[in-house]
């Protein structure tokens, strides 16, 4: 295959990926860019739940009692989470024992947002409610039940191919590489915008596409990396009246607790997430078992690269742009295609006009 034929092939692949999948790529990219700073975004959308008056220095039982006042009959405390970096509310999660009529899957939890300094309830919302949760569902599954996660995974594969073929097509046919960095390679504004922004984002976009596919297909990529994906256990309802109290559990563990998960019928142990490591407390005996911090797996690294967790502001800005720019590329790609169709029709119209005369 000649170089020209190969280039035409890559051009066709690149073009049709953009044209056929633009309507899916745009919401996927924009929602991913917004979720880079999901905590900040949630605070802007729901300022009331972040109106704390001080640090969370009360006994954890105070937050549990405050949450109990918001519980419906049949609800049970499932978990308590402290704010990151001592900012924001304490969140107590409540799980119904049974799902409501017509609900599919596990019962939806309710989050109670509590002021850490006064134990005052700030807000109450379902775990899948609100604008930020909608963005999570849109980005994770395009809000398509059942197969949405797989659709997003294949979109990641398509975007990876698009970014690599785009880099091939960007490379100047003649002259030095610096020629490709010029703005006026084409007379059209949208074409120049597409070529130049596409070059600068192609590597971050390839990384985001690969890590997104990795998250969507953990079993496939786990077999490649040699890491087996742990099975997802069916959630069990937390016990109604644990033997140990949360104050005793947290004091017995020592260290700074980040989150506490209640014992269930299947697993009668308290799970306490620490700043480094994790601890388990047997509910019946109070025996504490401290686990060392787990080494980071490849799957966890891929998720952090994808969402920017703990990666610092520079990386977060980079993946934010890696989410915004693909939407721009999708739009300019469509406009370039429309313009090319108009351009091709001009000689035909001229020929028809001459024939009519």
pLDDT value at residue 354: 35
Which range is least confidently modeled, 105-109, 201-205, 274-278?
Answer: 105-109
Length of the chain: 357
CA 162 centroid distance within chain? 21
pTM of the shown model: 0.81
Question: Torsion angle of alpha carbons 314, 317, 318, 320, nearest 10°?
Answer: 160
> What is the mean pLDDT of the segment spanning 239-249?
93
The Cα 195–Cα 181 span in angstroms is 9
> What is the mean pLDDT of the segment spanning 125-142?
91
Residue 212 — pLDDT band, cuts 50, 70, 90? Answer: very high
The answer, yes or no, to whether residue 351 has pLDDT greater than 60, is no
Q: Within 10 A of 99 (CB to CB), how many other CB atoms are there?
A: 12
Residue range 327-350, pLDDT digits in tens: 999 999 999 988 888 766 655 554
Task: Read off the tokens for 19.
Answer: 């044209």
Cβ partners under 8 Å of residue 95, min gap 6: 75, 76, 77, 78, 107, 109, 235, 237, 238
The Cα 257–Cα 278 span in angstroms is 9
Residue range 80-91, pLDDT digits in tens: 999 987 789 999
Which range is least confidently modeled, 13-27, 203-217, 226-240, 287-301?
Answer: 226-240
Residue range 178-206, pLDDT digits in tens: 777 888 877 889 888 998 899 998 999 99
Q: Which has the higher per-residue pLDDT, 343 or 31?
A: 31
On average, the pLDDT of the chain sits at 87
pLDDT value at residue 293: 78
CA 153 centroid distance within chain? 13
> What is the mean pLDDT of the segment spanning 305-310?
90
Task: Read off the tokens for 254.
Answer: 């020592």
> What is the mean pLDDT of the segment spanning 36-56?
92
Please say whether the beta carbons of 61 and 245 come within 8 A.
Answer: yes
pLDDT value at residue 275: 84
The answer, yes or no, to whether residue 72 has pLDDT greater than 70, is yes
């Amino acid at each position: 295959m000649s170089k020209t034929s190969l280039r035409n092939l890559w051009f066709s692949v690149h073009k049709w990926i953009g044209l056929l999948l633009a309507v899916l790529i745009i919401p996927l990219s924009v929602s991913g860019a917004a979720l880079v700073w999901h905590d900040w975004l949630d605070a802007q959308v729901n300022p009331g739940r972040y109106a704390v008056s001080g640090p969370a220095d009360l006994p954890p039982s105070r937050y549990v009692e405050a949450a109990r006042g918001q519980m419906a009959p049949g609800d049970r405390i499932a978990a308590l989470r402290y704010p990151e970096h001592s900012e924001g509310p304490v969140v107590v999660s409540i799980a119904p024992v049974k799902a409501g009529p017509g609900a599919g899957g596990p019962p939806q939890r309710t989050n109670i947002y509590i002021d850490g300094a006064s134990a005052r309830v700030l807000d109450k919302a379902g775990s899948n409610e609100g604008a930020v949760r909608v963005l999570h569902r849109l980005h994770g599954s395009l809000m398509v039940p059942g197969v949405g996660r797989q659709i997003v995974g294949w979109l990641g594969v398509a975007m990876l191919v698009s970014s690599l073929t785009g880099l091939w097509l960007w490379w100047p046919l003649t002259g030095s590489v610096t020629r490709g960095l010029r703005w006026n390679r084409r007379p059209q504004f949208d074409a120049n915008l597409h070529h130049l922004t596409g070059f600068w984002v192609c590597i971050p976009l390839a990384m985001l596409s690969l890590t997104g596919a990795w998250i969507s297909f953990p079993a496939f990529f786990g077999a490649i990396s040699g890491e087996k994906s742990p099975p997802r256990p069916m959630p069990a309802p937390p016990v109604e009246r644990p033997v140990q109290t949360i104050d005793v559990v947290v004091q017995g563990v020592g260290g700074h607790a980040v989150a506490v998960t209640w014992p269930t019928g299947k697993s009668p142990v308290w799970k306490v997430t620490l700043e480094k490591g994790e601890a388990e407390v047997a509910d019946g005996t109070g025996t504490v078992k401290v686990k060392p911090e787990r080494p980071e797996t490849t799957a966890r690294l891929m998720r952090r690269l994808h969402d920017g967790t703990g990666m610092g502001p520079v990386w977060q800005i980079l993946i934010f742009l890696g989410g915004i720019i693909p939407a721009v590329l999708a739009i300019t790609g469509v406009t370039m295609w429309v313009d090319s169709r108009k351009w091709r029709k001009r000689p035909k119209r001229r020929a028809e006009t001459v024939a009519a005369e």
